Structure formats: C-alpha cells, structure tokens
Amino acid sequence: MTFPTKIRTVLEMIKFEHSVFAPPFALTGALLAVRESGLELPAPWGKFGWIVVAMVAARSAAMAFNRVVDADIDARNQRTKVRAIPAGLVSKSFTWGFIVFWSALLLGAAYMLNPLCLKLAPAALLIVFGYSYTKRFTALSHLVLGFALGIAPAAAWIAIRGSLDWPILLLTAAVMLWTAGFDIIYSCQDQEFDRQEGLHSIPRSMGIGAALMVARLLHVGMIAMLFWLWQLLALGYLSLAGIGVVAALLAYEHSLVKAQDLSRVNAAFFTVNGIVSILFFLFWAADILAT
C-alpha cells in the first residue's frame, strides 16, 4: 500500500469528515470572546484559522490514538473488526506516526495563538487521549468524551482573550452534555459486546431503554445551558432561534432511535449531530456579528 493510500485509509478510519462536530462550537466560543472583549472584529480574525487547525489536529490525534489503544478490542467486535488496524490495512506503528504528526500540529497551532494556549495544549492532549481508557473502568466514559469535546469553545475563548472566564464554561457544559448524550445513543449498539468484554457504558449498566432516557435528559441539560448562556450574555433573538433549532433537531434525533430498533443509530449519530453543530454556529455567529 502506498503512503498516500495509507493516509487516506487512516483518515477514513478516524472519520476525518466528522471533524465538523467540535470546530463550530469552538468558533462560536471565539466569536463570543471577541464580543465580550469589545475588540474590533478584524483584529483577531487571523487567530480563527489557527483555532480550526488546533481543533482538527486534536480530534485527529485523539481518534487515531483511540484506534490504536482499542485495536485488540475492535478486532473482537463484529461491528468494528473491519477498521483499518484490526483488518491489517495499516500498522500500529504507522498510526503512531500519524498521532505524532497531528499532536505536533496542535502544539504548533497553540504556539501561534498565545502563550497560555501553548501551556495548556499538553493538558488538552492528556484529556483527549485519556478518554480512550475510561470505558475500561467507568460507565461515565461518555461524560469524559463530552468534556474532551467541551473544552473546544473554552480553548477558543482563551485563544482570543488569553484568559479563561467562567461564562464560556456554560458552553463547555452544553457541548459536554450534548456529546455524552449522543455517545450513549451510539454505544447502545455495543451493549452486549461491552458486557462480554467487561467494558463499561450506560447502556450496559442500565439497559438500552434507560440509557436512551439518560441521553434525553442530557440533551435537555444542553438546551438549559445554552439558554442560561444566552441570558447571561444578553444575546439576541437569532441566538435564541438557534437554541430552538438545536432543540428540534435533538428531538428528531431521539425519534430515530428506539430501544427495540437501533437500525437508524448512524443517522442519529453522524448526520443529525453534524447538522446541529453547523446550524448552531450559523445562528449564533449571525447574531453576534449583527450586533
């Protein structure tokens, strides 16, 4: 297999196209930081590109790390044994090189942003890498994954302001609850496998029906966090409309998945949540830029 083919295979393995989940929330955090700082908008635009690079790099490194760490588990799972490493399409050593590349790119992007971002970048890598081990000992691994994505808007806020301020933590909490909710839905597919392997998840611990209820409650919590942030920062009606659109999409997502029918989990997980992320950003960005 040629080097470019290996790269394409690894990018497919980590679902590179799904990098769309975190960057829109990160960019929203950056726009809110600009708004709250009272800066002239053209001044920080150069940082926005580096924020996107950092978000994509962190996710790519984390996903590849997860595939390496879980390769043996994936090989025993009927659903995941076709992934690149267990299928023998790429080696672990090649994937480790891929991880090093994206980790270095994250550090480079953090350097281009500001000193605090550079200092915190290793901690961010520790968080996103550490998630891969959590399902071995806690059913709360979904929340850890949520936190790994949730730090994106806080990191972008730091990139613009050079400090961490508590209001942006509401958006971190919203992203954490959103991610944990849809990860619970996705993990329902592996309930029986997790039980056999001794892995931990909400579906394994509580059953699929109860797990789906927990996912709904987490998504209600997300909407509550967004509404709190909207009130706190005195945002406009476009942002409020964006919250309404997100709520409607999440309701639709939950309508796709039933305890007795998980056939539409991929549509709920990938398609709907990608739309949630993009539309949320578009509504909030339009509101912020219009004021």
pLDDT higher than threshold 70 for residue 128: yes
Which residues partner with 261 through β-bridges? 258
Rounded to whole angstroms, the Cα distance separating 77 from 73 reads: 7
Percent helix, strand, coil in the chain, to 5, is: 80, 0, 20
C-alpha dihedral sign at 221, 223, 224, 230: positive
pLDDT in the model for residue 13: 83
Inter-residue contact 164 to 157 (CB < 8 Å) = yes
Q: What is the pLDDT of residues 48-70, one digit of tens each?
A: 999 999 999 999 999 999 999 99
Amino acid type, 149 = L
Q: How many domains does the chain have?
A: 1
Give backbone dihedrals phi and psi of 264, rounded to 5 degrees, phi first.
-110, 20
Specify the higher pLDDT residue, 232 or 291.
232
Grouping H, G, I as helix, E, B as strand and the rest as coil, residue 258 is strand
Domain harbouring 156, CATH code: 1.10.357.140
Grouping H, G, I as helix, E, B as strand and the rest as coil, residue 261 is strand
pLDDT higher than threshold 90 for residue 38: no
Inter-residue contact 26 to 55 (CB < 8 Å) = yes
Report residue 81's pLDDT band, with 50, 70 and 90 as the boundaries: very high
Amino acid type, 181 = G
Mean predicted lDDT score pLDDT of the chain: 93
| Separation in Å, CA 256 to CA 59, 63, 104, 215, 266 | 27, 26, 39, 13, 10
SS (H, E, C) 130-145: HHHHHCCCCCCHHHHH
> Exposed, middle or buried by CB within 10 Å (0-12, 13-18, 19+), for 195?
middle
Domain range for 139 is 3-290
Amino acid type, 102 = W
Report residue 39's pLDDT band, with 50, 70 and 90 as the boundaries: low
Q: What is the pLDDT of residues 172-227, one digit of tens each?
A: 999 999 999 999 999 999 999 999 999 999 999 999 999 999 999 999 999 999 99
Q: What is the pLDDT of residues 218-274, one digit of tens each?
A: 999 999 999 999 999 999 999 999 999 999 999 999 999 999 999 888 877 788 998
pTM of the model: 0.94
Specify the higher pLDDT residue, 2 or 245.
245
pLDDT higher than threshold 90 for residue 43: no
